[in-house]
Amino acid sequence: MPRQSIHQVLLNDLASARQDLQLIRFQDLVHTAINLLDSSSSDKDTDSQVSDSDSSTSGMSSDSSLSNFMVDTFMSLLETSEASFIAGLTLNHQILSFENTIVALMDEVEKSCYLAAHTKAPHAPQLQLLEEWCLNNDLKKFHCKLCVDPNIFASLIAKLENHPIFSNNSNNPQLPVSVQLTIFLNGVSHYGNGATMEDIAEWAGVSIGMVYKCYCRVMITLLQLHNDVIHFDPMEPEDQEEWDWAK
């Protein structure tokens, strides 16, 4: 049986609490209705008893006393019923308010991606080292990271930067094409633990999701511009084999 997510467990608990409140509310309404019916029956019994007493003592001087007793009894029952009814309404209002709070919490849980705040992972971008290596003519380190020479890297940027995939109408612009190409080349030129998105994200100082987007954009562009950006050296046997295989 698959394990339920924390989101789903919390939603189930809130739904169960809401059902319990609805049951309590229903039971309270039934209890209030029964009390009102009992009070109404008591009023009828009192009226009947007073009526019988009046008929049996119609000639006596105690009629006014019995009448006063009937009024006092009726008012006492009415006050008791009214107090119970008001208390029931107050409890019902509190239950409805609590239920609305639970519904609001369920909406927040369904809309939220994270139930607890996450600490932002530290990033230490090292992209500036590429420029420094170029200025110092340290091509070995540059080639170690991107597996291309600086002049080839610049040529690739010139061919890719005008592709529409690198432009959008959002208020948040994309990363420069040079940065996206750097992230892509660093990822595809390594393997194993050194090629994980987490490692690339820490090296470039971006999020893992941004690394994935850079991979997709650059790969789509390279495939569409395949013949313009990928060339095989006919003088190299290995390149010639690759070219024959690519055909």
Residue 21: predicted pLDDT: 81
Among 32-46, 62-76, 145-159, 179-193, the range scoring the smallest mean pLDDT is 62-76
With 90 as the cut, is the pLDDT of residue 180 above it?
Answer: yes
| pLDDT score at 105 | 85
Amino acid symbol at 24:
I
Query: How much is the pLDDT for 217?
Result: 94
- pLDDT at residue 185 greater than cutoff 70: yes
Residue 100 has pLDDT above 60, yes or no: yes
- pLDDT of 165 reads 92
Rounded CA gap, 91 and 98, in Å? 11
pLDDT at 239 exceeding the cut of 70:
no
Per-residue pLDDT, 58? 47
Q: Per-residue pLDDT tens for 110-157?
A: 887 777 776 666 666 788 888 888 888 888 888 888 888 888 899 999
Give the residue-averaged pLDDT of 150-165.
90
- According to the per-residue pLDDT averaged within each range, which of 2-6, 35-39, 117-121 is highest? 2-6
pLDDT bucket at 221, cuts 50 / 70 / 90? very high
Q: Which pLDDT value is given to residue 195?
A: 77
What does pTM read for this prediction?
A: 0.49
What pLDDT shows up at residue 89? 62
Per-residue pLDDT at 50 exceeds 50: no
DSSP character string of 69-129: HHHHHHHHHHHHHHHHHHHHHHHHHHHHHHHHHHHHHHHHHHH-S-SSPPPPPP----THH
According to the model, what pLDDT value does residue 48 have? 56
